[in-house]
Amino acid sequence: MTMKKLLLLTAAMAAMHFTAGAQPLEWGVHAGLNLAWERASATGGAVTTNSQPQFQAGFTLSTRVARAVPLYFRTGLDFTGRGGESDGATDNLYYLQLPLTLSCRIDCGRMVSIRPEVGFYYALGLFANAKEEGVVLEYEGRRFDYFNTKVEGRKALKRSDLGLRFGVDAVLKRHYGIGIGYDQGLLNINKNLYESDVKLRNGVFYIRLSYDL
């Protein structure tokens, strides 16, 4: 799936809600800090890297899907960083991510609401790099990119990732929010970086600030 298809998918979902007479879409923007790591597993055991600081930024759109209860469908697009750190070596993976979640709004008085969410995400790898002691690694005179550089005719990592999302936001005055969450990749993204029996998955804990329009 390409970036263009992701954008078209988001637009199509928005159009369907309007044409079906559903509740109006609500828009928001957000940005925050990721603490990302990678977990490699094989028959002999598993190893998890240290967390690597990254960032995220994007927009969210949501619409109410049930009149009887405050249940909302949420989606949007995020630019988000993944990766990990081990012994001075860092992986930096950058994705365009499409979340698909359900959220419930719990009012805590007139000023504050709590909004837990759970669902899935699809992420498309855009570009990546590797560093040793802060120095960007190169291959054949060019910056090494896990998604785009071919070594012996094969790329190191798969572009597509699919995973679970769990999160909760606290929103003040229906506009100003702070949230925490956890994304766990389900797909093995190893393509040619490690031996074929090694499975590599992304994980990230995030904290973010948001503003609902």
Q: For residue range 170-192, list pLDDT tens digits in order.
A: 999 889 999 999 999 999 999 88
Given a cut of 60, whether residue 70 has pLDDT beyond it is yes
Tell me how far apart the alpha carbons of residues 72 and 66 are, in angstroms, rounded to a whole number.
7
Confidence of residue 2 (pLDDT cuts 50, 70, 90): low
* The overall pTM is greater than 0.75: yes
Confidence of residue 22 (pLDDT cuts 50, 70, 90): low
Given a cut of 80, whether residue 19 has pLDDT beyond it is no
Confidence of residue 100 (pLDDT cuts 50, 70, 90): very high
Determine the pLDDT at residue 174: 86
E-only strand ranges, the chain: 26-42, 45-48, 52-66, 71-86, 89-104, 106-108, 112-132, 135-136, 138-139, 142-143, 150-151, 154-155, 160-172, 176-185, 199-212
CA 50 to chain CA mean position, Å? 18
Tell me how far apart the alpha carbons of residues 195 and 74 are, in angstroms, rounded to a whole number.
38
Tell me how far apart the alpha carbons of residues 74 and 87 are, in angstroms, rounded to a whole number.
38
Q: Which of 52, 56, 69, 58 is nearest to 10 (CA)?
A: 58
Walk me through the domains of the chain, giving residue ranges and CATH numbers.
Answer: 3-212 (2.40.160.20)
